[in-house]
Amino acid sequence: MNLGLDASLTHALHQDDPDRFWCLVPAGQDQRPAAAALLALNQELGRIPRQVTQPMAGFIRLEWWREAIAEARAGRPRRHPVAGALPLIQAAGLDDAALVAMVDARERELDDRPIADLGELLAHARATAGRLQESLAAVAGGDPVRARRIGTAYGLMGILRATGHLARHGQILLPDDLLRQHGVGRDALLAGKAGPGLAEVAAVVALEARDELRNLRPVRGEPATPLLLITRHQLRMLDRLDNDPFAAAAIGRPPLLALRLLVLHGLRV
């Protein structure tokens, strides 16, 4: 799909975050560059915990991005494909505090402490995926509160779908109290042998995602609407898979998503 954007910003996004790539479709032509830069920044930040073997190395990389945000505001963007696009986001009206908050939220993923409970998991999803969609609404349109709810639900579903991948890399983001309550040992989960209790944990997290989406409907011209459609589909499919998060990794986007978006948004692309 040709959205008239710099391929250096969108190629990795299309490959690594194809669901959010669809958020660019409803955005106006003049809003897409800033929106693409914001999504690319999120990708860069999200990779850091997976790229480092020691937390301190991750903290150093996150600090690099805080400095890059400040230097871009001062008119000295760093020579980096995404850091060099930060002025696009800033010119679109997103303040630096929102960008720095995106950086800060990734520190929790460098922390070895388990996610204590559902409240902490929800707070993390709001601070990462939720805040991203809220910021996207600021630069590309839409109700920021509604966008944050959609982003949070998508983030919770993303954590469920990534459970197996994270476990293979020694990471668990599911609430520790729920795991213990349903008899899921952390060592067993890391070994991919969690048993039926894991589905019960996933069902609780999925219910939280459904609550975030309660009473929300697609809105024409809203960048968050593609994620609304995608998340609802993924929740339905998770239910059909008996809430098995390992199997949920294979859930894709809803059939005819492109056609539905093109009709909904008036063939704007």
Confidence of residue 25 (pLDDT cuts 50, 70, 90): confident
Which tens digit of pLDDT belongs to each residue from 173-214? Answer: 999 999 999 999 999 999 988 788 999 999 999 999 999 999
- Separation of alpha carbons 11 and 178, rounded Å: 38
- Separation of alpha carbons 200 and 204, rounded Å: 7
Beta strands in 161-243 (DSSP E): none
| pTM of the model as a whole | 0.92
What do you get for the CA distance between the two ends of the chain, in Å?
8
- Separation of alpha carbons 230 and 251, rounded Å: 10
Which tens digit of pLDDT belongs to each residue from 226-266? Answer: 999 999 999 999 999 999 999 999 998 888 787 777 777 66
| Long-range Cβ contacts of 75-83 (<8 Å, 24+ apart) | 81/8, 81/9, 81/40, 82/9, 82/37, 82/40, 82/41, 82/43, 82/44
Two structure tokens written together for 98: 């929102």
Which tens digit of pLDDT belongs to each residue from 40-87? Answer: 999 999 999 889 989 999 999 999 999 999 999 999 999 999 999 999
* Residue-level pLDDT at 256: 77
Mean pLDDT, the chain, rounded, equals 92
Measured between alpha carbons, how far is residue 148 from residues 98, 205, 263 in Å?
13, 17, 24
What is the pLDDT averaged over residues 101-106? 97
Which tens digit of pLDDT belongs to each residue from 120-151? Answer: 999 999 999 999 999 999 999 999 999 999 99
